Structure 1
Amino acid sequence: MTDVRPPVGLVDSGKGSNPIPAGGVAPEAEFDVPSGLPAGTPTPRAGDARLARLSLNQRTTANWNLREAIDGTVAAGLSSIGLWREPIAEVGLATAVGWIEASGLRVSTICRGGFFTTADPVERRNAHDENLRALDEAAALGAPTLVLVPGGLPEGSKDLVGARSRAAEAVAALALEAKARGVVLGIEPMNPIFAADRGVVSTLAQALDIAEQFAADEVGVVVDTFHLWWEPGVEQQIARAGAGERIVSYQVCDWITPLPADTLLSRGMMGDGHIDFPAFTRAVATAGYTGDIEVEIFNAEVWAAPGAEVLATLARRYATLVHPHL
């Protein structure tokens, strides 16, 4: 990361986001993460109406534990958070529930269930049982959605069609269990570069083909800009999802190049890459989605930055690139 911060003692001249007020004292300059460039706009603060639907997906601040993530989200003025199961397990479900209730935050999603493409009967049963535990956690935390990452090809297999079929069968086995708990299963289609090891459902169209076999209050889809921005006809598929009330989560981050060696970490801060957020967001809004919008970023430089700076940057980018188009 290039550090372009001004020398100590100097302040923004007024060309950036923090102009010196006439006759006053300049506010402290703000800088974007991970670029280090001066912020283009002031950071929205607690009480700003633009933050009402913004949710922090916990992996965006992976250097924070659950307690820190909750406190940081509240301090930033957000009202919802997307939780991951591993940090919940570290403190125990009862503790996590207590912390969330005391914080007043909504839980936008629980991540993650899924990983059920195995052909082995014992492993399939184990995966089903693990997803039932994930549903229990989501229900306890008041999360409306359990995000499902289907999983990749089983070790040694090249049967992509079979893996997709087993993923659909696994969803079918969970649908009524989810409904009984008041949680909707959210199938997350993943960019095709992850088809072998992480997500055999590669397009929104494929995810909808599965979801539409069930009631809308049982199975929906996760619309993630990183995974779907490339999909031909994605606007029509978003409209299809909206018509069936299938969109259970809208997640945003950017697609950056060059891709890092670990492509899982190729998610970027909104505005740092190639995705047209205004157009994509308008499509989601037109489809009727009115829920929380999670910022989910897997990026080594973002993870290494102070969490408060990450939240400030994502709030600024959300307020300029996403919120105006809802």
Structure 2
Amino acid sequence: MNTAMDIRRLAINQITTPAWSLEQAIEGYARHGIHGVGVWRDKLAACGLIRARSALRAAGSWVPSLCKAGNIAQFATAGTRPALDDCRRAIEEAAEIGAGCVVFVCGGIGTDSKDIEAARAKVAEVLHEASAFAVKHGVSLGIEPFHPMHAAERGCINTLSQAHALCASIGPAASVVVDVFHVWWDPELYRFLAPPYTDAIATVQLCDWRVPTRHSVEDRAMMGEGAANVHGIAAALEDSGYTGPYEVEIFSQDWWSMPPDDVVRICAERYLSLGTSIIDPSNT
């Protein structure tokens, strides 16, 4: 593994510091030498596309991802058309601010269904229909597999194998978003952190699995404070030649209660610590 993690590849996902507006986040992250910003659409809408582009340009910042679009379950009663329209709007927004991908959070099965395979088929349908539009705008559709505990209500794509199979079926418009919170348990994790699968990774979202978990959406830990082998994941990626971005993405009432500048400082410290000597567990 590389002996150091390059701070230039680090982004902070805005959900880590929700008290900050987009402009405040851009400026705040830059104060700590971090110019990557994982943008959320509600923050972008509040800022406006023109102001956002200007603020990003002024700070020399870049955007690995725009979150989020594509929730099939959210639009279940209206069919796939609203989800597709939402996805297209997100693609246009991502293109405007230079985001590498739109994080496609596919949603669960909906309240009136027990058919998870039908939900997955609808996800594939929307992604296929949106693919040409994504290619036209130079934006990737980032498929994010979700931890199985969220399969019913938040994400019916649950393993890296499923995400990569879906990505391969769609073609160059699609990519995979690797979120440590959702995939650290996956029995095939290290297989999909190696070539040729690394070529399909749009971004890697860093956090940790809190122990004991409170089974809440807002219950992620800072890297190094949970059960996930974040060091091993980073080692496997770096040894595999991954050169893409890392985003710290922490949903946590505990961390949200802290001053954002302190959170960002700790994020940078923990990210840089991933470059220390580590044994890659996939090789043991």
Q: TM-score with structure 2 length normalisation?
A: 0.91
Mapping 1:105-254, distance limit 5 Å: 105-117=61-73, 122-216=78-172, 218-239=173-194, 242=197, 245-254=199-208
The 8 Å contact of residues 188 and 207 in structure 1, kept in 2 or not, is answered as yes
Alignment-mate amino acid for residue 84 of structure 2: H
SS at match of 1:213: helix
Alignment-mate amino acid for residue 112 of structure 2: G
Asked whether 1:298 is paired with 2:235, we answer no
Matched with 2:44 is 88
Alignment-mate amino acid for residue 256 of structure 1: R
Asked whether 1:312 is paired with 2:265, we answer yes
Q: Which has the higher helix share?
A: 2
Q: CA deviation at 1:120?
A: 5.1
Larger RCO (CA under 8 A, 6+ residues apart): 2
Q: Distance in 1 between matches of 2:121 and 2:275?
A: 35
SS at match of 1:212: helix
Q: Distance in 2 between matches of 1:152 and 1:240?
A: 29
Taking only the aligned residue pairs, the percentage that are identical comes to 36
Q: CA deviation at 1:241?
A: 5.2
Deviation string, structure 1 residues 152-182 (Cα, Å, up to 9, x no partner): 1112211011101111111101111100000
Q: CA deviation at 1:242?
A: 2.6
The 8 Å contact of residues 30 and 59 in structure 2, kept in 1 or not, is answered as yes
- Flag structure 1 segments of 5+ consecutive residues without an equivalent: 1-47
SS at match of 2:251: coil
Deviation string, structure 1 residues 4-36 (Cα, Å, up to 9, x no partner): xxxxxxxxxxxxxxxxxxxxxxxxxxxxxxxxx
Aligned-residue RMSD, C-alpha: 2.0
Q: Distance in 2 between matches of 1:120 and 1:198?
A: 13
- Flag structure 2 segments of 5+ consecutive residues without an equivalent: none
CA 1:57–1:241 in structure 2 vs 1: closer, same or farther (change >3 Å)? farther
SS at match of 2:64: strand
SS at match of 1:264: coil
The 8 Å contact of residues 242 and 289 in structure 1, kept in 2 or not, is answered as no
SS at match of 1:112: strand
Q: Distance in 1 between matches of 2:237 and 2:231?
A: 10
Q: CA deviation at 1:199?
A: 0.3
The 8 Å contact of residues 143 and 174 in structure 2, kept in 1 or not, is answered as yes
SS at match of 2:15: helix
Q: Distance in 2 between matches of 1:89 and 1:249?
A: 23
SS at match of 1:185: strand
Alignment-mate amino acid for residue 303 of structure 1: W
Q: TM-score with structure 1 length normalisation?
A: 0.80
Asked whether 1:271 is paired with 2:209, we answer no
